[in-house]
Amino acid sequence: MSASRDLSVTEHSKIREMLALAAADALEPNESELVMQHVRTCPQCSAEMEQWQLLSRGLRQLPTPQPSAELVQRTCARAEARVIDEREHAWNRRVMISLVLFAWALTLTSWPIVRLVSGGLLSLLDPRLNQSWLGFAGFTSLVWLTGGIAAALLARHQRSERSLA
């Protein structure tokens, strides 16, 4: 008799601890079922459950503060501008990589032509390459300097266009 009462007291306090979560619909289905079964037969827990449900309902029915239309518009505009900016950066990066590759390809392919015109292709095979390499370095620097100046001018133009926009 006493053992069964102890068991029921234990169950009662265990269920009581679960009531808040039951009202918050945060229990597993089997736990929830256990709680509901107990609540049906225990007036104390039933009253307690009602209180938790009231609180849960109060929380669920809280008014939703709304952001202003202007904030939403501003947010969309800023986020879109950032996406466009990112996209432009990615595009610029790709263009830059392609340009660098192209510039190297152009330098390497045009160098023999320059040599052919200025002193003969065979000098490339000359074991005394020092002179040849110096010429190549000078030629490369000239090509890259020209390319660099052109890129800087383009970037400046693009920046001033963007600031005007």
Partner 1 sequence: MSLFQGLYRITDMMGTAALRWEGGVGLEADVAQLRRGDLDALTTLVSRYQNRLYRFLLRLVRDRSEAEDLFQQTWIHVAEKIRRFDPSRNFDAWLFTVARNLAIDHLRRIRPASLDQPISEGESQETALDRLAAHDPAPLDRILENERANRVGTALDELPFAYREVMTLRFEEEMKIEEIAQVLGIPLSTVKSRLRRSLEQMRNNLETRYAGENWR
Interacting residue ranges for partner 1, rule: CB under 8 A: 16-17, 20-21, 23-24, 26, 36, 47, 50-52, 54-67, 71-72, 74-76, 78-80, 82-84, 86-87
CB of 22 to partner 1, least distance (A): 10
- State the Cα–Cα distance between residues 20 and 17, nearest whole angstrom: 7
CB of 131 to partner 1, least distance (A): 51
Give φ, ψ of 24 to 5 degrees: -90, 5
SS3 category, 116 = helix
Task: Provide the token pair at 152.
Answer: 């800087």
SS3 category, 79 = helix
CB of 57 to partner 1, least distance (A): 8
- State the Cα–Cα distance between residues 143 and 110, nearest whole angstrom: 10
CB of 152 to partner 1, least distance (A): 27
Comparing CB distances to partner 1, the nearer of 30 and 66 is 66
Comparing CB distances to partner 1, the nearer of 36 and 151 is 36
Residue with tokens 């970037």: 155
